Amino acid sequence: DIQMTQSPSSLSASVGDRVTITCRASQGLKNYLAWYQQKPGKVPELLIYDASTLQSGVPSRFSGSGSGIDFTLTISSLQPEDVAIYYCQKYDSAPLTFGGGTKVEIE
């Protein structure tokens, strides 16, 4: 099965900073990669699918890129409401595996 590795596992940044999270697959996925945001005590929410397509209603400061093995989630200007854990997920085929998550905090 394909493994999904996220890095870093946690980060702390200032409001307004550009934040980058990476997700690496152990085999190629084409662009079958999604990103989710989970705020404390809440249900995960879809941010990006097909590696770079923004889900309706998601702020434009979020963007995704990549294909094949390496993918990136970028927050162009970190806001206090972006404090959360971010997960990637592959969906090229079953099993539909998640990455281990990246915890984003404000300095």
Partner 1 sequence: QVQLQQSGPGLVKPSQTLSLTCAISGDSVSSNSAAWNWIRQSPSRGLEWLGRTYYRSEWHNDYAVSVKSRITINADTSKNQFSLQLNSVTPEDTAVYYCARSRGYFSVWGQGTLVTVSS
Binding site for partner 1 (CB under 8 A): 1, 32, 34, 36, 43-46, 49, 55, 87, 89, 91, 94-98, 100-101
For partner 1, give the closer residue by CB, 18 or 59.
Answer: 59
* Token reading at 77: 């200007």
Could you tell me the smallest distance in angstroms from the CB atom of residue 55 to partner 1? 8
Min CB(62)–partner 1 separation in Å? 15
In the chain, the largest separation of any two C-alpha atoms, in whole Å, equals 38
Cis previous bond, 95, omega within 30: yes
Q: For residue 81, report the phi and psi dihedrals to the nearest 5 degrees.
A: -75, -5
* C-alpha radius of gyration, the chain, whole number: 13
Q: In what order do the strands lie in the sheet with 19-25?
A: 4-7, 19-25, 70-75, 62-67
* Closer Cβ to partner 1, 17 or 97, answer by number: 97
Least distance in Å: CB of 91 to partner 1?
4
**Residue 44 or 61 with smaller CB distance to partner 1:** 44
Closest distance to partner 1 from the beta carbon of 102 (Å): 11
